A and B are shown apart, each in its own frame.
Chain A
Amino acid sequence: MANNESCYVIIGASAAGMAAAEAIRQSDSTGVITVLSEEPVQPYFRPMIPFLISGKKSAADMTLIGQGPYSGTGIDVKLNSRAEGIDTKNQTVMIQGGDLVSYDRLLIATGSRPYIPPEIEGTEAEGVFALRTLMDASAAADRASEADHVVMLGGGLLNLKAAFALLERGLDVTLVVYSPEVLSQLMEPDDAVLIRDALNNAGLKIMTGCSATHILSRKGGVNGVLLDNGQEMSCQMVCIGKGVFPNVNFLQQSDVQVDQGVVVDRFTACNAANVFAAGDVAVTFDPITGDRIVTGLWTNAVEMGRCAGYNMAGRTTEYTGTFGILNATQVADEPFVSMGIVHTSGTDYETHVFSTQHTYRKLVFSEDGERLVGAVFIGDISHAGLYRYVIREKMNVAKIKPFIIKQTLHYGHLMLP
């Protein structure tokens, strides 16, 4: 069949990949779109997998296709098709089993995988999880049904969400955090007081300033954890949440430039012709600091994936970068938002804190006080998007600074002179 239709191949069927597929379909109604997924199940909303552990949602509730903005037709998702390598000269992708898939335009959206600290011994044991996929969560849910006590290694958002899912099932959960406080990537210890209180009230046991050295196991899997302070805890399940790193191994033999993640230009294009990258696997940049960053956030991945999709389909679209920190969620009963520059100890950033019994709002301005560069909101997170907008647009805040500091900013202040 002779055709003039473009052949788009996307490696990875999660946030960036599916958002790109959607954007391509918006711009090119006839192009052939093939999405290669290494997973055995149809695309799903990955951030929802903790609900599989709590039992509050089923896998079917997490399906991506047909939900939200994902309504494009003619997007062929090939499951169990892990990319093993790419040949940028002949424009082909080799998938598991050795088959070759040709492309006119290729998107690398392979995401990231959990970092398992090599210094912890025994991480191979049955009952040790690093939650990343639906299958991981499903296996963790099975294990949880036989466990009484779970030890979580790492105090980041993923582990906190998983910890709450396990608490909801009635399990004892201990969180072991190397940093002095939970969520250290997203806020400073002083900012986290309300969240820490909420976690304590919810029954989560938290140990800070220590880490695991050994995961102990016997027949039947994990049965304990040995900490660097010499303490030994018995448990039947361990979850490791120590961050993620880009899935770039399959690019080793290719000429695609990799520096931690896949390097792209301002239009999400790689150094190799007709190859693009987006999402967790790509190196992006922070518009505030200009720093090169790799992020592991759904929202960022979607934004970058859409941008890549438009570029692949010929609608030239500049990617404007993303904050390294851009998180909103609710842990225990405490909602919070953290975005932009939030770590200010020992710096000259101008900070303003508004704090009550139930609310904590910290604002970070540039050293000269002319621009807002970051914010942490806990409890009352209202109008967070407006503050994000002010940060992102690098607005000169002279006229609206009093409203920002008093936490009364609203859209009218931005719209009316």
Chain B
Amino acid sequence: MAQPKEIFVRLDRCLGCHSCELACAVEHSQSKSLYSAISEKPTPQSRVYVEWVAPDNRLPVLCRHCEDAPCMHACICGAISRTEEGVVLTNTNKCIGCWTCVMVCPYGVIGRHLEEHKAYRCDRCPDLEMPACVSSCPTKALVYRTVDDFSKDVRKVASREMLSGEGG
């Protein structure tokens, strides 16, 4: 099986504009339009959270779809499973809103939809080529790549920096 793509964060590029949060909530609305999503019930929720750490760091946090997903094993009703693409999914129909997943997620990225009494989290936008948060990011702080491609990118940038350092 081809290596699946994942959402990576380039911390140095995040401006903290929260565009990803907005795009995520809209993509997870019924209408998929910002104008109607605002008044929808149940209220569409973002599954990515842009956090701030002093003095000046912004950090988009979202489900890492952990290889050893604690939420999946802790779930007391079998609502959480992994797809062939490696995405850890919460089956909303099965979720009973016991919040065990919230209690065990070390990233704090599982939300509680209060109106629906269901847990929700990043589903990597199964209907889109590229997740909404990634497409919406104006600075490309979020990237959608395979692990190999992403680390190759990181190596390229690093070697370019080293070379320019030596040359200068």
Contacts and interface: CB of A to CB of B under 8 A. Distances in A.
Nearest to A327: B103
Interface residues of A, number: 41
A71 interface: yes
Contacts of B146: none
Interface in A12-65: 19, 45, 47-48, 51, 61-64
Contact of B81 (A47, A69, A384, A415): A69
Contact of B107 (A69, A381, A411): A411
Nearest to A22: B73
A160 to B, nearest CB: 13
Contact of A302 (B53, B57, B59, B74): B74
Given A328-B98, A412-B52, A384 B103 contact: yes
Nearest to A416: B53
Contacts of A205: none
Interface in A277-328: 298-299, 302-303, 306, 326-328
A51 B96 contact: yes
B77 interface: yes
A410 B112 contact: no
B106 A47 contact: no
A327 B52 CA distance: 29
Contacts of B100: 299, 328-329
Contacts of A48: 76-77, 96
Contacts of A298: 76
A385 interface: yes
Given A69-B72, A381-B99, A299 B104 contact: yes
A299 B72 CA distance: 10
Contact of B99 (A45, A71, A330, A413): A330
B73 A412 contact: no
Nearest to B79: A68
B150 interface: no
Interface string B65-82: 000001011111111111
Nearest to B59: A412
Contact of A410 (B51, B96, B98, B105): B51
A326 B74 CA distance: 11
Given A299-B76, A411-B51, A388 B106 contact: yes
B102 to A, nearest CB: 5
A382 interface: yes
5 A-B pairs closest in CB distance: A67-B78, A68-B78, A385-B105, A328-B103, A383-B108
10 contacts: A47-B76, A47-B77, A67-B94, A68-B75, A69-B80, A303-B74, A381-B103, A384-B102, A385-B103, A413-B53
